[in-house]
Amino acid sequence: MFDFGMQELIVIFIVALLVFGPKRLPELGRAIGKGIGEMKRALQGVKDSMDEAETYIERGVPEETKTNKVSLNSDSDSVSKLIQKNGTDTGDKIGAANHDDFYEQSEGGKR
């Protein structure tokens, strides 16, 4: 990621030693180490979720969705057969009902 040589690391260490002093340098090292560890864990979590999403996409449509589609198709077929069996006058009955009739049926005639 960063291309630091040995000379650059020594210069950074000397500057940190001068700025923070010998007593606070170990604390600083631990804090930086913990921060880097947390960052690695967070990046790994993001990477895992991306891999999971990629696997989901590669698998395609899950089997559950396929079974739901089959179920909906069979329900649709049975409704179509029922409409064909009863005739085409069902649309006229539905169209003739007005809002007040529907309201009375749903509320039991109370307003």
Q: What is the average pLDDT value for the chain, to the nearest integer? A: 78
Q: What percent of the chain has pLDDT over 90?
A: 23
Q: What domains can be seen in the chain, in order of their start residue?
A: 1-60 (1.20.5)
Q: Taking the CA atoms of 100, 83, 67 and 50 in sequence, report the sign of the dihedral they define.
A: negative
- Interval 6-46: pLDDT, tens: 899 889 889 988 998 888 988 988 999 999 999 999 999 99
Q: Which residues fall within 8 angstroms of residue 19, CB to CB, at 6 or more apart? A: none
